Structure 1
Amino acid sequence: MTGRTKHSTVHFDKPFALRGLEEIQPAGDYDIDEDEEMIDGISWIAYRRVATYIHLPARSSNLLTSQVLAIDHAELEAALRQDQEQLA
């Protein structure tokens, strides 16, 4: 099975929390990786997401240590929506 990783950056204007993260994370830009695998048995190329990871700390942090943690993609999307709604 063929796989790929998509890289993106998300922005939070307010501190946020996700299950699996030990602490509330500060506002900022965060790198996100999404692992996808090719779906076999269909006549066109298609992928499905199999894992989502967040890089901690935020890009603007001056901490020397970093970590990559698996998170739930739907929960990330919900946290981003909630962050945007707080601005409105």
Structure 2
Amino acid sequence: MTIRSRRETITFKHPVHIRGIARALPAGAYEVVTDEEMIEGLSFASWRRIATMINVPSEGVQGATEMLSIGSVDLADAQAADAQSEEARAVHD
């Protein structure tokens, strides 16, 4: 089984709640790591997501971070909510 990891940086412009994380995360840039496994037996390369994790500031330890497992849909929902907050703010300005 072949596994690869993809890393990307996402930015939230507002404090955000991600389902599965008990606390609100402050606005800012976050590294997201997605692990994928190759689907064997196909005549072309295809990958299936097996894990999504986000690197967040640790609670209680200044400057430390922790990697938390999250759902990809939950992350997409949080990004959409952040974008809607930005749009609502633009309408009121």
Compute the TM-score of the two structures, normalised by the length of structure 1: 0.89
Deviations 1:11-48 (A, max 9, x none): 10110111232311000000000000000111001111
Distance in structure 2 (CA, Å) of the matches to 1:16 and 1:39 = 33
The alignment partner of 1:26 has SS state of coil
Aligned to 2:7: 7
Aligned to 2:36: 36
Question: How do 1:56-71 and structure 2 match up within 5 A?
Answer: 56-57=56-57, 63-71=62-70
| CA RMSD, 1 decimal | 1.4
Percentage of identical aligned residues: 36
Aligned residues: 84
Compute the TM-score of the two structures, normalised by the length of structure 2: 0.84
Distance in structure 2 (CA, Å) of the matches to 1:84 and 1:19 = 17
Gapped regions of structure 2 (runs ≥ 5): 88-93
Gapped regions of structure 1 (runs ≥ 5): 58-62
Structure (1 or 2) with the larger CA radius of gyration? 2
- Select the structure that is richer in helix: 2
